[in-house]
Amino acid sequence: MIRKTRLFTPGPTPLLPAAQFAMAAADIHHRTPEFRALFLKVLGQLKVFIGTQNDVLLLSCSGTGAMEASVSNITSPGDRVLVLTAGKFGERWVDLAKAFGCVVDVIQKPYGETFDLAEIKAALKPEHKAVYMQASETSTGASHNVEAVAALVKGTDTLLIVDGITGLGTQTFDVDGWGVDILIGGSQKAVMIPPGLAYLSVSEKAWKAMDAAKSPRYYFDLRKERKNQVKGETAYTPAVALVAGLGAALDYIAGQAGGDLEKGRIALIDNAQVNAAATRAGLVALGFTLFAPASSSAAATAVAVPEGMDSGVVVKALKAKFSLVTANGQGTMQGKIFRVAHLGFFDFLDTVAFMGAMEHIAKETLGLPVVFGQGVAAAQEVFAKTASSH
């Protein structure tokens, strides 16, 4: 039998064919009217995709570059910041803030959990320059309540910086209403194109903070980028082909709702949520335990394997038998969990395919008492219920 490679990793995610064609055709120079028109069009689309009136910038780097810019552009060495962390990406905020000399207060929760609002409220001090958090902690499959944290920060001098790299396209944000000062996205996640671009919205409050910030920065100088990007330019050579691909992907998302990108964004979020719910139901029906059951992210599901088993075996078997690529746990979660993605270019039939493969692995590789159809049936029930309510 032949096998067909299927990416189920929470970044990079499967590529949209229309975006791949646009990338292949993008041999244009970046200092031309053609590129400026494309770039301004994509920046406009990103505003709608993020759902904000704030400035949106596009950077040629992976998501971490925009995270770094969100530290270096608004802090000075010695500034106090508050980081909320419950996973590997939260830990990245801690490391970044320390690298730029910030005094870092940390609220840390065990992997798989989310935060306690009362604890954040008690820890938040007027001297905190910024609060850093994830919307979706991709390493644990947990979703965090950005709206509730924003309500605590709003009206203070503190900035709220959110890594929405797997939150965008899988959960709803009211960036301007809630007062999210910086919200970051990445190209290899919900927007269906390869790694290499990060995008972020920046509030007026954040721009003001940049005037006083003294941390060193050069490539990721957001004020320099803002001056250029309003004219459809970038400070340095941008990843031209990826910009073309992103435009095509955002066109596709709009096309899913008759050309209305705002509605298309909602459809994309809904899609991830339905696929995540169906996947959770299917995996539980097969005897697996969810790693973040109380606050599950729609971006990716993290699954614990039964006690005494190695999650790496599942990842390897899915790859060997079906060419289906999932992600092992990171750090101390390696061997304990595996992660399967729902963000971006997945539809419900992809979920059915994944569940069909999982039934084989559960039964034959792990020796669980599985009857074929058991996981798929549970997923189908979730789909049928949501389809009838739409």
Ligand X SMILES: *Cc1c(COP(=O)(O)O)cnc(C)c1O
Minimum distance from residue 342 beta carbon to ligand X (Å): 13
Q: Which is nearer to ligand X, 12 or 282 (CB)?
A: 12
Q: Which is nearer to ligand X, 89 or 383 (CB)?
A: 89
Minimum distance from residue 163 beta carbon to ligand X (Å): 5
Q: Which is nearer to ligand X, 142 or 250 (CB)?
A: 142
Please give the full DSSP string across 219-287, using - where no structure is assigned: TT-HHHHHHHHTTT--SS---HHHHHHHHHHHHHHHHTTTT-HHHHHHHHHHHHHHHHHHHHHHHHHTT
Q: Which is nearer to ligand X, 346 or 383 (CB)?
A: 346
Q: Which is nearer to ligand X, 164 or 375 (CB)?
A: 164
Q: Which is nearer to ligand X, 170 or 311 (CB)?
A: 170
Half-sphere exposure of 7 (CA within 13 A, CB side): 16
Cα–Cα distances (Å) from 91 to 68, 181, 191, 252, 327, in that order, read 13, 20, 25, 34, 19
Q: Which is nearer to ligand X, 35 or 132 (CB)?
A: 132
Minimum distance from residue 159 beta carbon to ligand X (Å): 18
Minimum distance from residue 374 beta carbon to ligand X (Å): 30
> Which of helix, strand or coil describes residue 366?
coil
DSSP 203: -
Round to whole Å and give the CA distance between 75 and 85: 19
Q: Which is nearer to ligand X, 246 or 285 (CB)?
A: 246
- The answer to whether the Cα torsion of 94, 180, 300, 280 is positive or negative is positive
Contact residues for ligand X, defined by CB under 6 A:
10-11, 62-64, 89, 134, 138, 163, 165-166, 186, 195
Minimum distance from residue 186 beta carbon to ligand X (Å): 5
- The count of other CB atoms within 10 Å of the CB of residue 377 is 14
Minimum distance from residue 300 beta carbon to ligand X (Å): 8
Residue nearest to ligand X (CB): 63
Minimum distance from residue 277 beta carbon to ligand X (Å): 20
Helix (H) or strand (E) holding 194, with range, is none
Minimum distance from residue 134 beta carbon to ligand X (Å): 5
Query: Under a CB-based contact definition with an 8 Å cutoff, are residues 79 and 104 in contact?
Result: no
Round to whole Å and give the CA distance between 104 and 27: 44
Round to whole Å and give the CA distance between 189 and 157: 31
CB contact set of 95 (below 8 Å; sequence gap of 6+): none
Minimum distance from residue 48 beta carbon to ligand X (Å): 22
Cα–Cα distances (Å) from 308 to 119, 292, 311, 319, 321, in that order, read 34, 19, 10, 21, 22
Q: Which is nearer to ligand X, 20 or 64 (CB)?
A: 64
Round to whole Å and give the CA distance between 166 and 136: 6
Q: Where are the alpha helices (DSSP H) in the chain?
A: 17-24, 33-50, 63-72, 88-99, 117-123, 146-153, 175-178, 204-212, 222-229, 240-255, 261-285, 311-322, 348-360, 374-388
